[in-house]
């Protein structure tokens, strides 16, 4: 039953005092898989919809508001087993879509920093919750202990399977351990959350490279399923003259060495080439190795860099400069060592696919800049053949069945960057977890978990309208001098409880969905008069989309065509003003949450 | 045939005003709207120090009066800030929630002082100065204060230092030769500046940097890297300019440090041009992009952009060079007009 039908059904019976059933049944809870309700959640809660792991963001922010940090952490953990890690380094796709960030509403909520605050502020003796299933007697090998492998191993363990995690390096974490530097992610935070996964009985075997130390066939004979989560270990090359000179480093190799505690030579002037996470980390690490002039050279402009503004700000704060609209032609050297780079200037040109711009070089625009070292961080790619020659690939990515995780080999699955190409940590975790559900179905012959929408009638918001005008709370960071001290101290300091409380107040709690009961509405338009923006509309129709969900309302300005006054939950900021003024009490509030249910309960 | 065009110009500086005049001359019937987020009529920025000193008043500051716009039928809308542009729909969103349509748009929004990462730790203690509004807000404090630190990282800083000195203030100037704008200050130039300012009783801090700043009830306590300690009423930062383009970011109009334009001053949209301090152009002679700087360039670019909006197809070339003499050194420049 969808939310509209439910109201209709409840409304059929009116009590003597005129109260409808819907209004009376404040605590009614309904679970729905109706595409209209699924669609409602997608549109109502844009942050959650943008999160690859579909984290219940308004839910966990509300818990922080109430000071329930442990509960907030657990709500996170249901979707993503590394909240303390992600609260520090997530690429934050959610914040791009946060309603508070719409141009007339200010800045998005600091969703990610709040996630970190729940991890930081919860009790150190906090209780971890796991919905464990009985042991299945099945065994699964997971190859690669990065975010995808950890996500898969955790979910498989929860589902009762015996998991062995094979990792080529000597520590788990994948790029969290060997890519991302410690000043962004302290290793004790990472290891604590990894430990919480291993505690479920996952056996971790480090220093084992599958394809070299043990073959895929051997794994298949020992385990009932194998999950490959080997990430993107091969750095892309520029393919320009001079790339093999001494002191030219592939970005990934540079970060691996730095994260092992080595100090690769960088000299004073460092040229980094690339515009993503890796390039930023290389530049910031080079600075900490003693470089005095670090430049990040990009082909397009800052606007098209795949990192967020905060990260750019931190890079600039460390006196690292972006050099935009340049393309590397060759790396120059003397006696085998780098002395400089020759660039050509580029210009932006339209391209039909996102992000809609390419850079083309301008003829005769060459110029040379000096450099003591060059770090080439222009992305990395998977190498499935390293694991086994018989795995089929699309280009370098492991090929899986459309929208699923099984490969061409029976019992072998793949997840994370090795099948998607280089992405980000939250996508890798989410894919690892979803892959585990596929493996579980393969092993048990049935689906055991489903996603449903939980609908609960609730009173209107208790947020004060003044909360909407609180500015975004920036996170305090170390001063420059402290950043470059030995020991790679963490740059971001985290929120204090007061800062977290302030920031949590800003969330509109978009999971509250406001609807008008049209059978009681007298079209007085009192709600429209108090509305803070064009959130309440005179609707002519609500078309149904191909997937069964409802599209945005078709508005009309002609009264004779108005079929209903409707609240547009994509525009609504949940201020509750309409609820307060409606003379007929016909505005209802429903908390809508996407949750996972165990089918067999 | 009467023109149906509505030209909108964002910016009431030399670029915007020269463009408006050219447009009016060549298209007598078109609607022309000139927008500025300041409330002051078109004024000479280089005369702002004289306004603070009190040697000139508002009337001498302005380039022309309101009547000029009326006579030319140019709609001047002051105190109205552009917040966003939608070039696909030919619309401008103003801060006060108004939406304005255009057929042709010129962005001439100038530049504002920048806070370099170098001093971003101290941003909250730094005062910036570049407009009539800044002058209005700060005039009282400047007149009443006694001792100032000026971070000398651009050409305007020297004018400001001179202004303070001539008002009888005690002035320290911390020189930033490496970060100087809009050109690097060579060792010789820095030495010349040092000599020229010191001669007139200004304390110049060379080869030094800011170590700490603390606000106390006495003023701002400053400690430099070399251990120099002093308390100032205010610290002014002049470290170059950064184009005012926030309203264009993410709009689809290509930007880098400024609005990216070709040598016709056209953006990646055929009916949107940019001119003056906000425009960034590739210059094949120096094999680099450059940002327009200075009054003269802005005026020329405004006029050329207007001609091109009218269909002329002129290519912009740097203005002829002339010698600019500043604090004991000279540079050969095509952009900065020597008003003094
Ligand atoms: C420097 C850098 C910074 C980044 N910063 C961020 C960031 O701030 N935010 C963000 O969201 N993303 C960031 N990313 C991207 C992110 O780290 C990856 O998208 C993510 O780690 C992918 O997870 P994964 O589990 O698929 O692969 P990986 O993390 O690469 O893990 C793969 C694991 O498999 C192991 N392995 C490989 N081959 C074998 C084999 N044959 N046998 C056994 N084990 C094997 C590897 O040793 C590794 O431990 C960054 C990446 C880099 C390189
Ligand atoms: C104190 C001082 C002294 C100077 N001395 C000299 C000198 O001696 N010689 C010299 O050549 N140059 C000098 N300059 C520099 C010169 O004034 C500038 O280069 C010139 O004004 C640039 O012209 P412009 O038209 O590009 O922009 P501006 O004159 O900066 O005009 C920009 C206009 O855009 C408006 N605007 C900006 N953003 C918005 C928005 N979002 N919405 C609406 N309106 C907006 C502003 O209000 C302003 O009206 C000096 C500058 C200063 C500050
Ligand atoms: S306001 Fe809150 S619930 Fe709404 S999109 Fe932003 S973070 Fe999510
Ligand atoms: S709660 Fe009502 S008035 Fe407030 S934003 Fe939503 S629909 Fe508009």
* Residues in CB range of B214: below 8 A, 6 or more apart: B220, B221
Ligand 2 geometric centre to CA of B197 (Å): 26
State residue A27's pLDDT score: 53
* Superfamily of segment(s) B6-110+244-322: FAD/NAD(P)-binding domain (3.50.50.60)
Among A535, A537, A581, say which to mutate for ligand 4: greatest number of ligand atoms within 8 Å of CB: A535
- A561–chain B Cβ distance below 8 A for any pair: no
State residue A582's pLDDT score: 93
* Ligand of minimum distance to the alpha carbon of A420: 1
Strand-strand pairing, B104-107 and B6-10: parallel
- Asked whether A348 and B254 are in contact (CB, 8 A), the reply is yes
**Is B268's CB within 8 Å of A348's CB?**
yes
Residue of B84, B117, B255 lying closest to A103 (CB–CB): B84
**Is A319's CB within 8 Å of B118's CB?**
yes
Ligand 3 geometric centre to CA of A506 (Å): 8
State residue B157's pLDDT score: 94
Name the burial class of residue A530, with classes exposed (0-12), middle (13-18) and buried (19+) by CB atoms within 10 angstroms of its CB: middle
State residue B340's pLDDT score: 64
* Residues in CB range of B68: below 8 A, 6 or more apart: none
- Give the mutation candidate from A103, A347, A477, A479 for the B interface (greatest B CB count, under 10 A): A347
* Ligand of minimum distance to the alpha carbon of A430: 1
Task: Identify any residues that bridge with A164 across adjacent strands, giving them in sequence order.
Answer: A141, A203
**Tens digits of per-residue pLDDT, A585-597?**
999 999 999 999 9
DSSP A492: B
Ligand 1 geometric centre to CA of B184 (Å): 42
pLDDT band at A21 (very low <50, low <70, confident <90, very high): very low
Report ipTM (2 d.p.).
0.84
Nearest CA in chain A to B252: A356
State residue B292's pLDDT score: 85
Q: What are phi and psi of B93, to 5 degrees?
A: -105, 120
Among B34, B40, B45, say which to mutate for ligand 2: greatest number of ligand atoms within 8 Å of CB: B45
**Ligand 2 pocket at CB < 6 A:** B 10-16, 35-38, 45-46, 48, 81-82, 108-110, 130, 156, 159, 244, 247, 276-277, 293-296, 298, 336-337, 339
Give yes or no for residue A151 CB within 6 A of ligand 1: no
CA–CA gap between residue B180 and residue B153 (Å, rounded): 5
Closest CA to B6 of B122, B134, B92, B121: B92
- SS3 state of residue A363: coil
Domain with CATH 1.10.1060 in chain A: 30-125+452-505
* Ligand of minimum distance to the alpha carbon of A204: 1
Q: A30-125+452-505: what CATH class?
A: mainly alpha
Domain with CATH 3.50.50.60 in chain A: 139-233+382-447, 236-375
CA–CA gap between residue A233 and residue A144 (Å, rounded): 11
Nearest CA in chain B to A300: B256
**Tens digits of per-residue pLDDT, A437-472?**
999 999 999 999 999 999 999 988 999 999 999 999
Region A567-581: mean pLDDT is 93
- Asked whether B145 and B233 are in contact (CB, 8 A), the reply is yes
Q: Which two tokens stand for residue A311?
A: 């990260």
Options 2.60.40.1840, 3.40.109.10, 1.10.1270.20, 3.50.50.60; CATH for A236-375 is 3.50.50.60
Region A97-107: mean pLDDT is 91
Q: Taking CB atoms and an 8 Å cutoff, what residues of chain A touch B94?
A: none
Q: Which fold has domain B119-240?
A: FAD/NAD(P)-binding domain (3.50.50)
| Interface contacts A/B by beta carbons within 8 Å | 45
**Regions of chain B short of the pLDDT cut 70:** 1-2, 318-319, 340
CA–CA gap between residue B117 and residue A477 (Å, rounded): 14
Rounded to a whole number of angstroms, the distance from the CA of B252 to the nearest CA of chain A is: 9
**Ligand 4 pocket at CB < 6 A:** A 514, 531-532, 535-536, 567, 572-578
- A324–chain B Cβ distance below 8 A for any pair: yes
Nearest CA in chain A to B248: A303
State residue B179's pLDDT score: 81
Q: Which two tokens stand for residue A489?
A: 């101290």
- A263–chain B Cβ distance below 8 A for any pair: no
State residue A566's pLDDT score: 87
- Asked whether A115 and A83 are in contact (CB, 8 A), the reply is yes
CA–CA gap between residue A223 and residue A203 (Å, rounded): 13
Task: Kindly report the protein residue whose alpha carbon is nearest to atom 6 of ligand 4.
Answer: A572
- Give the mutation candidate from B122, B223, B267, B282 for the A interface (greatest A CB count, under 10 A): B282
CA–CA gap between residue A583 and residue B50 (Å, rounded): 62
* Ligand of minimum distance to the alpha carbon of B159: 2
State residue A190's pLDDT score: 98
DSSP B314: P
Domain coordinates of chain B in residue numbers?
A: 6-110+244-322, 119-240
CA neighbours closer than 13 Å in the CB half-sphere of residue A212 = 9
Angle between helical axes of A111-121 and A497-506 (0-180°, round to 10): 140
DSSP A278: H
Nearest CA in chain B to A103: B84
**Tens digits of per-residue pLDDT, A133-190?**
999 999 999 999 999 999 999 999 999 999 999 999 999 999 999 999 999 999 999 9
**Is A303's CB within 8 Å of B255's CB?**
yes
CA–CA gap between residue A230 and residue A209 (Å, rounded): 10
DSSP assignment of B14-79: HHHHHHHHHHHHH-TTSEEEEE-SSSSPSB-GGGHHHHHHTSS-HHHHBSS-HHHHHHTT-EEE-S
Q: What is the mean pLDDT of chain A?
A: 92
- A357–chain B Cβ distance below 8 A for any pair: yes
What pTM does this model have? 0.89
Does pLDDT of A3 surpass 50? no
CA–CA gap between residue A496 and residue A326 (Å, rounded): 42
Does pLDDT of A425 surpass 70? yes
**Is A364's CB within 8 Å of B255's CB?**
no
Same fold, B6-110+244-322 and B119-240: yes
Q: Taking CB atoms and an 8 Å cutoff, what residues of chain A touch B117?
A: 316-319
Task: Tell which phi-psi region holds residue B155, choosing left (phi > 0), alpha (psi between -120 and 50) or beta.
Answer: alpha
Q: A139-233+382-447: what CATH class?
A: alpha beta
Rounded to a whole number of angstroms, the distance from the CA of A25 to the nearest CA of chain B is: 41
- Asked whether A153 and A163 are in contact (CB, 8 A), the reply is yes
- Asked whether B204 and B190 are in contact (CB, 8 A), the reply is no
State residue A16's pLDDT score: 41
Between residues A568 and B339, the one the model is more confident about: A568
- A345–chain B Cβ distance below 8 A for any pair: yes
- Asked whether B279 and B106 are in contact (CB, 8 A), the reply is no
- Give the mutation candidate from A294, A303, A342, A359 for the B interface (greatest B CB count, under 10 A): A303
State residue A25's pLDDT score: 43
Total Cβ atoms within 10 A of residue A237: 11
Ligand 2 geometric centre to CA of A273 (Å): 35
**Tens digits of per-residue pLDDT, A467-483?**
999 999 999 999 888 99
Q: Taking CB atoms and an 8 Å cutoff, what residues of chain B touch A350?
A: 268
**Is B254's CB within 8 Å of A301's CB?**
yes
Ligand 3 geometric centre to CA of A48 (Å): 8
Task: Identify any residues that bridge with A452 across adjacent strands, giving them in sequence order.
Answer: A595
The ligand 2 atom at the shortest distance from the C-alpha of residue B112 is 30
Name the burial class of residue B48, with classes exposed (0-12), middle (13-18) and buried (19+) by CB atoms within 10 angstroms of its CB: buried
Q: Which of A82-86, A116-120, B280-284 has the lowest mean pLDDT?
A: B280-284
CATH architecture of A514-588: 2-Layer Sandwich (3.30)
- ∠ CA B270-B272-B276, rounded to 5°: 130
* Residues in CB range of B67: below 8 A, 6 or more apart: none
Nearest CA in chain B to A533: B97
Total Cβ atoms within 10 A of residue A307: 16
**Tens digits of per-residue pLDDT, A386-419?**
999 999 999 999 999 998 999 999 999 999 999 9
State residue A4's pLDDT score: 44
């Amino acid at each position: 039953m969808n939310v509209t039908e439910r109201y209709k059904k409840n409304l059929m019976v009116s009590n003597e005092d005129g109260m409808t059933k819907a209004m009376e049944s404040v605590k009614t809870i309904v679970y729905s898989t109706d595409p209209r309700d699924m669609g409602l959640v997608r549109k109502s809660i844009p942050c959650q919809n943008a999160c690859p792991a579909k984290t219940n963001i308004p839910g966990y922010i509300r818990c922080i508001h109430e000071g329930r940090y442990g509960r907030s952490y657990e709500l996170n953990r249901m979707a993503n087993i590394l909240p303390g890690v992600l609260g520090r380094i997530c690429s934050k796709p959610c914040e791009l879509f946060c309603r508070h960030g719409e141009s007339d509403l200010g800045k998005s909520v600091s969703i990610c920093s709040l996630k970190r605050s729940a991890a930081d502020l919860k009790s150190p003796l906090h209780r971890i919750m796991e919905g464990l299933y009985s042991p299945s007697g099945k065994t699964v090998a997971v190859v690669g202990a990065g975010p995808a492998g950890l996500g898969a191993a955790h979910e498989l363990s929860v589902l009762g399977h015996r998991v062995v995690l094979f990792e080529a390096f000597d520590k788990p974490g994948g790029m969290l351990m060997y890519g991302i530097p410690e000043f962004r992610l302290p290793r004790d935070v990472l290891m604590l959350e990894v430990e919480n996964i291993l505690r479920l009985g996952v056996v971790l075997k480090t220093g084992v490279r599958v394809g070299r130390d043990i073959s895929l066939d051997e794994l298949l004979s020992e385990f009932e399923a194998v999950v490959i989560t080997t990430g993107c270990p091969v750095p892309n090359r520029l393919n320009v003259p001079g790339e093999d000179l001494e002191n030219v480093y592939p970005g990934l190799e540079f970060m691996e060495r730095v994260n092992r505690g080595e100090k690769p030579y960088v000299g004073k002037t460092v040229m980094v080439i690339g515009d993503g996470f890796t390039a930023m980390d290389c530049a910031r690490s080079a600075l900490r190795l003693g470089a005095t002039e670090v430049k990040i050279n990009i082909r397009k402009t800052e606007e098209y860099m795949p990192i967020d503004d905060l990260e750019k700000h931190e890079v600039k704060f460390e006196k690292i400069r972006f050099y935009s609209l340049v393309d590397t032609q060759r790396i120059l050297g003397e006696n085998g060592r780098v002395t400089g780079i020759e660039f050509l200037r580029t210009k932006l040109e339209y391209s039909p696919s996102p992000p809609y711009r390419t850079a083309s070089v301008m003829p005769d625009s060459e110029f040379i800049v000096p450099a003591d070292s060059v770090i080439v961080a222009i992305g990395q790619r998977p190498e499935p053949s390293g694991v086994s020659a018989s795995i089929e690939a699309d280009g370098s990515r492991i090929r899986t069945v459309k929208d699923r995780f099984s490969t061409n080999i029976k019992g072998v699955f793949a997840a994370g960057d090795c099948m998607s190409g280089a992405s980000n940590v939250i996508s890798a975790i989410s894919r690892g977890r979803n892959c585990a559900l596929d493996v579980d179905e393969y092993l048990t012959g049935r689906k055991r978990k489903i996603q449903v929408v939980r609908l609960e009638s609730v009173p209107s918001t208790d947020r004060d309208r003044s909360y909407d005008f609180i500015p975004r709370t920036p996170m305090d960071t170390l001063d420059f001098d402290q950043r470059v001290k030995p020991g790679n101290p963490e740059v971001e300091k985290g929120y204090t409880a007061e800062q977290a409380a302030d920031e949590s107040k800003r969330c509109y709690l978009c999971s509250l969905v406001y609807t008008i009961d049209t059978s009681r509405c007298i079209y007085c338009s009192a709600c429209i008069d108090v509305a803070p923006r064009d959130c309440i509309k005179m609707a002519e129709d609500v078309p149904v989309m191909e997937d069964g969900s409802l599209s945005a309302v078709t508005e009309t300005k002609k009264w004779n065509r108005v079929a209903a006054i409707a609240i547009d939950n994509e525009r609504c900021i949940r201020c509750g003003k309409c609820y307060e003024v409606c003379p007929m009490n016909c505005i209802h509030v429903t908390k809508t949450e996407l949750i996972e249910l165990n089918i067999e309960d | 045939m009467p023109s149906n065009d509505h030209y909108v110009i964002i910016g009431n500086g030399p670029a915007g005003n020269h463009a408006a005049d050219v447009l009016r001359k060549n298209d007598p019937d078109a609607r022309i709207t000139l927008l500025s987020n300041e409330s002051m009529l078109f004024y000479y920025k280089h005369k702002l120090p004289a306004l603070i000193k009190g040697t000139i008043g508002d009337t001498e500051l302005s380039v022309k009066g309101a009547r000029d716009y009326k006579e030319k039928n140019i709609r001047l809308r002051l105190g109205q800030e552009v917040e966003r542009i939608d070039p696909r729909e030919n619309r401008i969103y103003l801060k006060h929630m108004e939406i304005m349509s255009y057929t042709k748009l010129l962005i001439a929004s100038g530049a504002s002082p920048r806070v370099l990462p170098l001093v971003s730790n101290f941003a909250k203690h730094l005062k910036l100065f570049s407009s009539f509004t800044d002058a209005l807000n700060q005039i009282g404090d400047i007149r009443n204060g006694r001792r100032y630190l000026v971070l000398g990282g651009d050409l305007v800083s020297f004018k400001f230092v001179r202004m303070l000195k001539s008002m009888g203030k005690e002035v320290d100037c911390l020189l930033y030769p490496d970060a100087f704008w809009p050109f690097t200050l060579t060792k010789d130039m820095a030495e010349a500046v040092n000599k020229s300012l010191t001669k007139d009783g200004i304390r110049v801090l060379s080869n030094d940097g800011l170590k700490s700043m603390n606000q106390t009830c006495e003023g701002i306590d400053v400690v430099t890297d070399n251990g120099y300690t002093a308390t100032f009423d205010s610290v002014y930062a002049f470290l170059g300019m950064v184009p005012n383009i926030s309203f264009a970011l993410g709009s689809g109009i290509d930007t880098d440090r400024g609005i990216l334009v070709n040598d016709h001053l056209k953006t990646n949209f055929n009916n949107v041009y940019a001119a003056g301090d906000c425009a960034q152009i590739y210059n094949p002679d120096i094999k680099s992009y450059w940002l327009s700087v200075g009054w003269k360039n802005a005026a020329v670019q405004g006029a050329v952009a207007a001609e091109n909006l009218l269909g002329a197809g002129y290519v912009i070339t740097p203005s002829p060079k002339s010698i600019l003499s500043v604090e004991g050194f000279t540079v050969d420049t095509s952009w900065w007009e020597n008003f003094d």
